[in-house]
């Protein structure tokens, strides 16, 4: 008679749970080994000399008991007072697993969901077994500083054969090397050259809007076409012509948005990412996104150098050796090409669309901005163009932009950071965080914290950014710029910030000066759905913004 397998199978499950906690495995082969080799090994011993049916039953019993013991012991530890994060509040399911987070990510509601958790539980929420969301200004310079590194979700999404995109490189030294290449494309000298690019693309949009005056159109789509065209010029010396073509006829935007969303879903659980990325839907979406990068890279290589664009530096066409950095291989260049499209077009297009939504739903703000812009054009000399340096000093224009990015930051759920395993615990503000804990600072939620933005933190009020405005004189007023992180923070902040601000100021000023827009609500679209339709797919994605255009005389 075979020995009772229960004690040994339960023991291997318990030991495996310790192994998962100790080694935090990410590689599929290692995970499978821990899950199945111990029970199969025991079953092989226990079933020696048994018949075929009894052998199958013995193997099944060992595997089931092993996995049951693993799950039960893991759950018990995560909800126990012995867990390092036991003192931090959060829903019980957050403490047990992040599997539920896949649904939240897939629905695009991460920013709203975690904001609701902060409203209920306070500044620090346990949002996973080893995951914290922190809504506290004092945590920003620490979590986004040198003590922490990028969380494992970024490495888990890395394409095989790639040296990593700027976004996904977690090693601080390698990230610094790659960032220095990108920064060369966004020096003040190069930004000055991009002014003409933005002006030319804006004029193409103006021409299209003039041809459609009096009719309803989706302003959000047209603005996004513009931002894609600008990034095509800045990154690849000219690739997209969506505005002049009258739309995204090849589906670039839809493919990019779908690919970004699926990668965000895949990266929700680090150890699960290698398996999720092989699901047909997610694999296909990522492939289509990278195909766009491949198309962009091939077109740029065929065209050659026409200006000092981003790939002028990534390809080391100026023969400087990029500070001794390792030359980028073909797969890496393709990945960087894909990342550039997302980072430079989706984010700016969404910010512009949000700005016009808030302007159109706040008519007094629209009229005040229009007055400031008109005065700048009247004083510009030729009456047709305003120097970007003048735009950068216009208080109300910049207040509108700041308030838009406060209300709807480009990365609403923030970025993941983790102090390396074995590097010791760290105090973040009033909180002790164990090494190995993943931490996120959700910009959407911290931007709506009344401790930092008061009064009415959930309301669009540009005046809060203007010293001396009535709101700034109110009792209890708060505007804490240290809690304002629309472009992230520190050494990994948005490298394209100067270009984004140039584009935001120029496009808003141009369109507000030349056109009057009114919302065009109908049975299929309502302004009340705009904010509800904003989806968190790592970057913020948007729906239509229906308007009627009238040219100003």
Q: Which helix (H) or strand (E) holds 78?
A: helix 52-78
Query: Is the pTM higher than 0.75?
Result: yes
The pLDDT tens digits for 56-87 are 787 788 788 888 888 999 999 999 999 999 99
Q: Is residue 60 part of a domain?
A: yes
Q: pLDDT tens, 94-106?
A: 999 988 898 899 9
Report helix, strand or coil for 420. Answer: coil
More confident residue, 411 or 288: 411
Segment among 214-218, 258-262, 394-398 with least mean pLDDT? 258-262
**Residue 457 placed within a domain:** no
Q: Do residues 73 and 181 share a domain?
A: no
Total count of domains within the chain: 2
Token pair 């984004």: residue: 500
Q: Cα separation of 191 and 185, whole Å?
A: 8
Look up residue 474 and give its two tokens.
């109110």
What's the rounded Cα separation, in Å, for the pair 298 and 337? 10
| 348 and 496 assigned to the same domain | yes
CA distance 269 to 252: 28
State which of 50, 78, 106 marks the end of a domain.
Answer: 78
pLDDT higher than 70, residue 24? no
Q: How far apart are CA 139 and CA 275, in angstroms?
A: 33
Q: Is the pLDDT of residue 323 over 50?
A: yes
What tokens were used for 130?
Answer: 């080893």
User: What is the number of other CB atoms lying within 10 angstroms of the CB of residue 68?
Assistant: 13
**Is 138 a residue whose pLDDT tops 90?**
yes
The parent domain of residue 62 ranges over 6-78
Residue 182 domain flag = yes
Beta-carbon contacts of 367 under 8 Å, excluding residues fewer than 6 positions away, are: none
Residue 424 lies in a domain: no
Per-residue pLDDT for 205 more than 70?
A: yes
* Residue of 434, 442, 364, 358 whose CA lies nearest to 121: 442
Closest CA to 250 of 242, 262, 258, 260: 242
pLDDT value for 1: 44
134 within domain boundaries: no
> Is residue 112 domain-resident?
no
Look up the CATH number of the domain holding residue 251: 1.10.630.10
Q: Of 78, 105, 138, which residue is a domain's last?
A: 78
Cα–Cα distance for residue pair 63/312, rounded to 1 Å: 56
Count other Cβ atoms within 10 Å, centred on residue 142: 23
- Among 30, 56, 78, residue at a domain's last position: 78
Report CA-CA distances (Å) from 491 to 172, 178, 232, 334, 345.
9, 12, 25, 24, 22
Mean pLDDT of the chain: 88
pLDDT digits (tens, 9 = 90+) for 468-508: 878 877 778 999 999 999 999 988 899 999 999 999 999 99
């Amino acid at each position: 008679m075979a020995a009772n397998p229960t004690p040994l199978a339960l023991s291997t499950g318990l030991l495996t749970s310790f192994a998962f906690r100790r080694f935090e495995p990410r590689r599929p082969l290692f995970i499978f080994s821990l899950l199945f080799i111990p029970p199969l090994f025991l079953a092989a011993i226990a079933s020696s000399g048994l018949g075929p049916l009894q052998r199958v039953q013995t193997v099944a019993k060992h595997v089931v008991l092993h996995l049951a013991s693993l799950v039960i012991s893991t759950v018990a530890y995560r909800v126990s007072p012995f867990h390092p994060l036991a003192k931090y509040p959060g829903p019980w399911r957050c403490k047990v697993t992040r599997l539920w987070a896949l649904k939240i990510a897939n629905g695009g509601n991460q920013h709203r969901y975690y904001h609701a958790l902060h409203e209920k539980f306070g500044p620090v929420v346990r949002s996973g077994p080893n995951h914290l969301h922190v809504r506290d200004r004092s945590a920003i310079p620490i979590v986004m500083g040198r003590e922490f590194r990028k969380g494992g979700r970024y490495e888990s999404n890395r394409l095989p054969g790639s040296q990593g995109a700027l976004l996904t490189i977690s090693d601080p030294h390698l990230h610094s090397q790659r960032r220095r290449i990108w920064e060369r494309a966004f020096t003040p000298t190069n930004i000055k050259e991009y002014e003409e690019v933005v002006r030319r693309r804006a004029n193409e949009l103006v021409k299209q809007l003039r041809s459609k005056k009096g009719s309803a159109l989706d302003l959000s789509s047209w603005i996004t076409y513009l931002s894609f065209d600008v990034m095509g010029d800045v990154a690849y010396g000219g690739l997209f012509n969506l505005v002049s073509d009258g739309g995204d006829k090849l589906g670039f935007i839809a493919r990019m948005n779908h690919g970004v969303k699926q990668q965000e879903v895949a990266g929700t659980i680090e150890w699960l990412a290698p398996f999720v990325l092989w699901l047909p839907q997610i694999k296909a979406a990522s492939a289509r996104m990278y195909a766009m990068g491949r198309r962009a890279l091939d077109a740029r290589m065929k065209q050659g150098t026409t200006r000092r664009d981003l790939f002028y530096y990534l390809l080391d066409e100026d023969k400087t050796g990029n500070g001794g950095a390792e030359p980028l291989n073909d797969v890496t260049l393709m990945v960087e090409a894909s990342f550039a499209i997302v980072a430079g077009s989706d984010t700016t297009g969404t910010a512009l669309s949000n700005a016009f939504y808030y302007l159109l739903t706040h008519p007094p703000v629209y009229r005040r901005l229009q007055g400031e812009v008109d005065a700048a054009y009247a004083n510009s000399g030729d009456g047709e163009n305003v120097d970007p340096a003048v735009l950068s000093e216009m208080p109300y224009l910049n207040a509108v932009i700041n308030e838009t990015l406060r209300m709807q930051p480009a990365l609403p759920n923030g970025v993941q950071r983790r102090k390396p395993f074995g590097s010791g615990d760290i105090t973040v503000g009033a909180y002790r965080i164990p090494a190995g804990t993943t931490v996120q600072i959700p910009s959407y939620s911290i931007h709506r914290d009344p401790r930092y933005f008061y009064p009415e933190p959930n309301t669009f009020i540009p005046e809060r950014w203007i010293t001396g405005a009535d709101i700034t004189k109110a009792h209890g007023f708060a505007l804490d710029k240290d809690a304002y992180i629309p472009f992230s923070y520190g050494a990994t902040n948005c490298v394209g910030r100067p270009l984004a601000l140039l584009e935001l100021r120029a496009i808003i000023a141009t369109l507000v000066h030349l056109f009057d827009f009114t919302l065009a609500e109908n049975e299929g679209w309502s302004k009340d759905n705009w904010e509800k339709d904003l989806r968190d797919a790592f970057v913020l994605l948007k729906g239509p913004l229906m308007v009627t255009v009238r040219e100003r005389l």
